[in-house]
Every structure is written in structure tokens, then in C-alpha cells.
Amino acid sequence: MTRSRFAAGLGHLIQAAVIGAGCTVAVSLLAFGLAWAISAWTGETVIGANIGLGLALFALRLVATPALGWWLARRVGIPRPGTATLVAVVLYLLLAWLNPMDLAPPAVLLAQCLQGALAGAGGCYVAMRLSRNH
């Protein structure tokens, strides 16, 4: 029986893709919810608040998504979770930068879900290749 070089780590790759997609969508929904709540609370009366709010929510997503992904990767046993998370962040930012579309919700969540899954699996693949025991 011929075995693929991916067969040994396929479970980890699938787990990492699910973690990447799930964390990306969860934190994005949290950010969209916070934006909606703050906008409703202020009544959009503060001039320039949307710019500051957008930057703050971008920073929240940039910190919370990898932190949650790293924690979940450690919990499920992804090899080298720190390396996998760091590579996934770089891949996600590259994919987001290369995305030519400017989508609005809910379509943006689907694009972010796909980008998160690809980045998570890519980060896990690099971490597995660097790991000596997988």
C-alpha cells in the first residue's frame, strides 16, 4: 500500500484548518458585534469615531485571533503550535492583502473563513515539516 507523505499529518492539517476558520469567524463576529453595539450606543454622533473604532477592531482581530488559535492548537496537540500560529498569521495577512474583493457582511465572513482555514492548514504544514517527530 502506497502512503502519501501527507497521510501521517492529515488529521493535524484538518484540525488546524478548522481552528483557523473557526477562530477567524468567531473573532470577526465579535468585532462586528462590538462595532454595531458601539455605533448604536454613540448614535454615530461622534465625528471621526468610525475611523478609530475600525482601527481598534482591526487591532483586536490581529491580536485575539492568533491568541485563540494558538491556545486551541495547543489543546488539540498540533505540533509546534507557536510556529504554526506565527506562520498562519503571516499567511492570513498575505491572503487578505492579495484578496482583490472588498466584500460586505455576510460575504466577508465566508472569505475570512476560507482564508483562515488555508492559513491554519499552511501554518500547521510548515510546523509539521519543521518538527522532527512527525
User: pLDDT per residue over 66-87, tens digit each?
Assistant: 999 999 999 999 999 999 999 9
User: pLDDT per residue over 7-20, tens digit each?
Assistant: 568 899 999 999 99
Tell whether 34 is covered by a domain.
Answer: yes
pLDDT confidence tier of residue 41, bands split at 50, 70 and 90: confident
Q: How high is the pLDDT of residue 116?
A: 94
pTM of the model: 0.84
**Residue 27 lies in domain:** 12-130
Tell whether 4 is covered by a domain.
Answer: no
Tell whether 5 is covered by a domain.
Answer: no
Tell whether 62 is covered by a domain.
Answer: yes
Provide CB contacts within 8 A for 109, sequence distance 6+: 25, 28, 29
Q: How many domains does the chain have?
A: 1
* 44 phi/psi in degrees, rounded to 5: 50, 35
Tell whether 2 is covered by a domain.
Answer: no
Tell whether 84 is covered by a domain.
Answer: yes
